[in-house]
Amino acid sequence: MKDVSTRPRNLCFAVSFVGVILLILGVFIMKTGNCSSMVPTVASALTVVLLGLLGAGRCAFAYRQAAEEAEAAAFRKEHGKSELFDDADEIVRMATRANMQYLKYFVPIFTFALGIGLVLFCIGVWRHWRGLPAFPLAVNPLPLAILSMCCAIGTLIAGSYFVGASRESGCRWLRPAGAWLLFTCLLFLGTGVALFLEYFKKAAAEADITVARVALFMLLVLAVELLLSFVIEFYRPRMPGEEERPLPESRLLALFTEPGGVARNVAASLDYQFGFQVSEVWFYRFLEHTVVPLLVIMLVTLWLQTCLVVISTEENGIHERFGRVVSQEALKPGLYFKLPAPFSRINRFPVDHVQQISIGAEHKHGDAHGDAAHDGHQHAGEHKKEEKHDARVILWSSAHADEEMSFIVATTPEAGGSAGIDESGRGAPTSVGLIAAHIPLYFKVNNLYDYMYRHRDPGGTLKNIATRELLSFLAGEDFWRVLGPKRFEGGELLEKRIQKVANDLHLGIEVVFVGLAGLHPPVAVGGAFDNVVASREQQYERELKALAYAVSREPLARSESVSMVDQAHAYKQERVSVSEAEAERFERQLKSYNASPQLFKLDSFLNVLNESGQQARKYVLTNEQTREVLILNLEKKLRSSLLDLNLDSTQ
């Protein structure tokens, strides 16, 4: 009889045998090639073995029940009703009860235990991977990759066969193991791809662990689905005459493994969950014939939209096809066509955007310093928040950042000071000190290919270069000069040095500006250093005042000196010239006197009257023999009369 065939049980044992073979091969590949992605594959193969044994047990109980019912029916037909027939009915009831108890108790407990076991396994493996510092690579990955691909192909053929055989009568319990077998095929395929990438040195360090994490996440999702199926089974309504569906059967895997299409599988899942024929409702048929195709078209359209990429005005792009760069020449702003994802992509980066990194300081609250500076593989749209500074003054006694580095800097004695000369008269040795730095470095990307593909972390590389050049610069400079007149010149020198090293390493950046305004003494000695600087400023002030006094007194002394010399020359010239003139005049007067003494005296007398007595009144007496008495009023008149006016006869 067809109902009592042993084919379903044999097929379940066969799928368990296939799972055992895959389990052995998976353990071999995992151990030989240090393959992390094979860990979820081994767990999936073990699940296939367990589900196959579960289905074999269910088929064995169903076969025993069907066989007992067939024997009881044949005995009843041959002998009729008798006491022996009552014993046969009891045997049938026992077989039926055993079958029902297997379905009612063992299958749910097994499903719950399998789900819990897979969840704990995934969590344990994930925590183990997080604690590993590095993941080992396969010594000879090519043979293992070929073996993994062969296992994937063989598993695909076997899984397709068992899923197809599950449509036969009595073979429904073969479907869970067949679906997990196809899932194992997918995991073998991912492992083979990871091993091939290791062989061709393409993302060798990330391929294996990336595939392993994705596979482990998928395994965790299926494990959670098993637990949800166990819970839902208690509240699911039952319909009389409904088709028996195995509890551990995955609805997610059924969407891709059961024949008939995704819509039919969804309809069967709804019928199973709600307890009535949802798929027979006219509204569902309308959705199946209109909405589902429209949804598929929309998904395909959205997928094809990835063929169009727009590069904005401040960006450039690099085109990758199948993981390889098509051209090192950067794509300029505009519209570009490419293959749909994930076959091709265009990495965009804002090359015209000026980026910033901080040298010698770290901001734990999230700054914008590249660290750009970020990471070099974080492309367009992945920019950090800009740090906001207020206008307050930051003193040397307060921290400029969350963490500041201290650099060694030379401290030379002042020129001309006694501290710079030892007892032997030679120069004293140069001492060293510490200086804290909070230096912003601004840069732009001028070669996108070098910046994105020649360095794993270009922002970190640039920061290391800048820190090294800053350390070299400060070690050869004076402490006071760096804090004072050397700031601007030092920034230009650092900019040239960093740019030269970046060009030698093909970093693909252009240094825009390096500012040394953030140099300051360590915070611990900031207060004491303020007092030292104040004393030095007072000293400079007094020196400048003395210099100003000296500068102001020197021209005055020189001018007084010149004036006194000029006055002496003038006095000398005057005395010589006057003496010569007086001598010459005396000689002339002597000649005049010798010629006419009376006339010379009269002329001299008249000259004295004319020159010295010009403002005095003069009275002339013409006759000395006259006896007339003249009365003269010598008082000054307060008013003048008309008679006193001296009128010119010509007027």
| DSSP E strand stretches across 277-411 | 308-311, 316-321, 324-325, 334-337, 344-349, 355-359, 361-362, 403-411
Q: Which two tokens stand for residue 113?
A: 């235990």
Mean pLDDT across the stretch 450-478?
Answer: 83
Q: What is the pLDDT of residue 24?
A: 92
Range 125-162 burial, b when 16+ CB lie within 10 A, else e: beeeeeeeeeeebbeebeebbebbbebbebbbebbbbb
120, pLDDT greater than 90:
yes
**What pLDDT, in 10s, does the model give residues 47-84?**
999 988 888 888 887 777 777 777 767 766 766 555 55
**What pLDDT, in 10s, does the model give residues 290-303?**
666 767 777 887 88
Using pLDDT thresholds of 50, 70 and 90, give the confidence band for residue 399: low
573, pLDDT greater than 60:
yes
Q: CB of 173 within 8 A of CB of 110?
A: no
Q: Which residue has the higher pLDDT, 274 or 106?
A: 106
Say what percent of the chain tops pLDDT 70.
72
Q: Which residue has the higher pLDDT, 467 or 481?
A: 467
97, pLDDT greater than 70:
yes
Mean pLDDT across the stretch 470-489?
Answer: 75
Cα dist from 522 to 357, 486, 514, whole Å: 21, 19, 21
What are the start-end ranges of the H helices in 102-234? 107-130, 141-165, 175-199, 204-232
Q: Which two tokens stand for residue 241?
A: 């005459």
Looking at every residue in the chain, the average pLDDT score rounds to: 76
Q: Which of 106-120, 153-167, 458-472, 515-529 has the highest mean pLDDT?
A: 106-120
Q: Which residue has the higher pLDDT, 531 or 395?
A: 531
267, pLDDT greater than 60:
no
C-alpha to C-alpha distance for 327 and 347, rounded to whole angstroms: 12
C-alpha to C-alpha distance for 191 and 433, rounded to whole angstroms: 57
Domains in the chain, start-ordered, CATH in brackets? 7-237 (no CATH), 284-349 (no CATH), 356-386+395-419+427-521 (3.30.479.30)
pTM: 0.45
Mean pLDDT across the stretch 322-350?
Answer: 84
**What pLDDT, in 10s, does the model give residues 401-426?**
666 777 777 776 553 333 444 444 45
Mean pLDDT across the stretch 114-131?
Answer: 89
